[in-house]
Chain A
Amino acid sequence: GAGVSQSPSNKVTEKGKDVELRCDPISGHTALYWYRQSLGQGLEFLIYFQGNSAPDKSGLPSDRFSAERTGGSVSTLTIQRTQQEDSAVYLCASSQQLNGGELFFGEGSRLTVL
């Protein structure tokens, strides 16, 4: 596609429910990233996928968070048993270059946990 596409744009859920957030990167980009932007915390790295290598999950805040990337393209970020502190905007980005290239961000998925 022309840009990074994320869905849903907004998600309101109840505490304890599971949510899935989807990211469709720019076609041909080998690297895909998830970041979280919350009030008071700024932008935090969560996870990145690079080609066929194992993902770097070092930024995931707890084992309730997981992500996968199927076929080297679309990625899904899953949050299990959501908590109120999970409320944030989840941003996905992709990059053509494998290391330290220019990142192109989607518009984010705003998650509100009641």
Chain B
Amino acid sequence: KQEVTQIPAALSVPEGENLVLNCSFTDSAIYNLQWFRQDPGKGLTSLLLIQSSQREQTSGRLNASLDKSSGRSTLYIAASQPGDSATYLCAVSPAFSGGYNKLIFGAGTRLAVHP
């Protein structure tokens, strides 16, 4: 059974720091991996999607890497800002017929960036 773990569970940093959020998964048979952001009381916003054949994706100050064989992904946030404060969720799409659409989520990393 696929399990997704995110470390750390919570993180508080001063503005301007570069951050690394970690995601690990137990079964390397994945179709893709997605990183989402969730603000309090809101839905999820897709940040980056990495296909299983890719090693990384970048969007602005965000960079996500994927090492499928070791079951790991990292989300790198450069020059953090208070507006980055949110919960960051990692989710994998299982690579079996009928499984692609059943994302399995980690519990998230709650990030607080203070001025």
Interface residues of A (CB under 8 A from B): 4, 6, 31, 33, 35, 42-43, 45, 48, 50, 56, 58-59, 91, 93, 95, 99-100, 102-108
Contact = CB atoms under 8 A, between A and B. Distances in A.
B98 A91 contact: no
A110 to B, nearest CB: 8
Chain B, interface SS category? strand
A102 B101 contact: no
B25 to A, nearest CB: 14
Interface residues of B, number: 24
Interface of B: 31-32, 34, 36, 41-46, 49, 89, 91, 93, 98, 100-108
Contacts of A6: 43
Contacts of A100: 31-32, 93, 100-101
The 8 closest A-B pairs by CB, nearest first: A100-B100, A43-B105, A105-B43, A105-B44, A107-B43, A100-B31, A99-B100, A100-B93
10 contacts: A35-B103, A45-B103, A48-B101, A58-B102, A99-B101, A100-B32, A100-B101, A104-B46, A107-B41, A108-B43
Contacts of B107: 42
